[in-house]
Chains A and B, each alone.
Chain A
Amino acid sequence: DGGITQSPKYLFRKEGQNVTLSCEQNLNHDAMYWYRQDPGQGLRLIYYSQIVNDFQKGDIAEGYSVSREKKESFPLTVTSAQKNPTAFYLCASSISGGVYEQYFGPGTRLTVT
C-alpha cells in the first residue's frame, strides 16, 4: 500500500459519537488527501492538505474535520454532524508542487449504528 497506513481497518461507533481515523505515511510526501467511497461508487474528496498546517475543503467536507500538524500524519475526524457517516474512508498522499499520482492506504470501513 505504498507506505501509507490507516488504522483501524474496521471501526464501529454509535450515532452521535465523534470518531477519528488515522492516516500515516512514510513516503516524505507533502500532500495528503481524504476520500469517502460508498458501495458501487467512485471516490469523493473530503479534505486535502498540500503542506503542514494547511488544508482545504473538498467536495463533501461538511461534518468532517482534519488537522495536519506533522508531515507524516493527516487524521480525519467524523463528527456527529455528518448525516450519513457509514462508508469506506481512504487516505492518499502525493508529491506536492504539481499534479502527480496519489498513493492510497488500505482504507478504514466505518460503520455507525
Chain B
Amino acid sequence: GESVGLHLPTLSVQEGDNSIINCAYSNSASDYFIWYKQESGKGPQFIIDIRSNMDKRQGQRVTVLLNKTVKHLSLQIAATQPGDSAVYFCAENDSNSGYALNFGKGTSLLVTP
C-alpha cells in the first residue's frame, strides 16, 4: 500500500512554545487524515481529523493543516504543556480502498520545563 511517513522521529520543545509535527503521505487519492496521541503503554487517543475538502481545521490548542499539492499534513500544538509529551501518529485513508487507516511510524514529542 501507499506509505505514510513523518519527517522527524523526535521533537523537543520548551514548555509554553508552539510545536509543529509534520507528516508526508504518498497516496494522492487519500481523502481522510487523522492525528493520534499515544502515551507510553496506552492506546492511541484521537486528537483531530481533517477531510480532503478542507485545508485547515482547529481544535482546542491544536490545528491541523493539509497541503494536498505537496501531500503534506501538519499538527500544530499551541502553548505546549508537559502533558503533551507523547508519541504522535498521523494516519490516512483512501475511501475508495476501504475503511482501514494507514499509520505512520510516529514522532516522539518531549516537552521540557
Q: Does B19 contact A (CB under 8 A)?
A: no
Q: Does A94 contact B (CB under 8 A)?
A: yes
Are A42 and B89 in contact, CB atoms less than 8 angstroms apart? yes
Of the four ranges (under 10, 10 to 19, 20 to 34, 35 or more), the interface on chain B belongs to 20 to 34
- Given known A42-B106, A96-B99, contact A101–B44 (CB-CB < 8 A): no
A104 to B91, CA, bound (A): 14
- We find that the number of chain A residues with CB closer than 8 angstroms to chain B is 32
Of all chain A residues, which has the CB nearest B45?
Answer: A104
Listed in ascending order, the chain A residues whose CB lies under 8 Å from chain B are: 1-2, 4, 6, 31, 33, 35, 40-45, 48, 50, 56, 58-59, 90, 92, 94, 96, 98-99, 101-107, 109
Q: Which 4 pairs, one residue from A and one from B, show the smallest C-beta to C-beta distance?
A: A104-B43, A42-B103, A99-B32, A43-B103
Listed in ascending order, the chain B residues whose CB lies under 8 Å from chain A are: 1, 4, 31-32, 34, 36, 41-46, 49, 89, 91, 93, 95, 98-101, 103-106
A–B pairs, 18, beta carbons within 8 Å: A1-B43, A6-B43, A35-B103, A40-B105, A40-B106, A42-B4, A43-B44, A43-B89, A44-B103, A92-B43, A99-B31, A99-B32, A99-B93, A99-B99, A101-B46, A104-B43, A104-B44, A107-B42
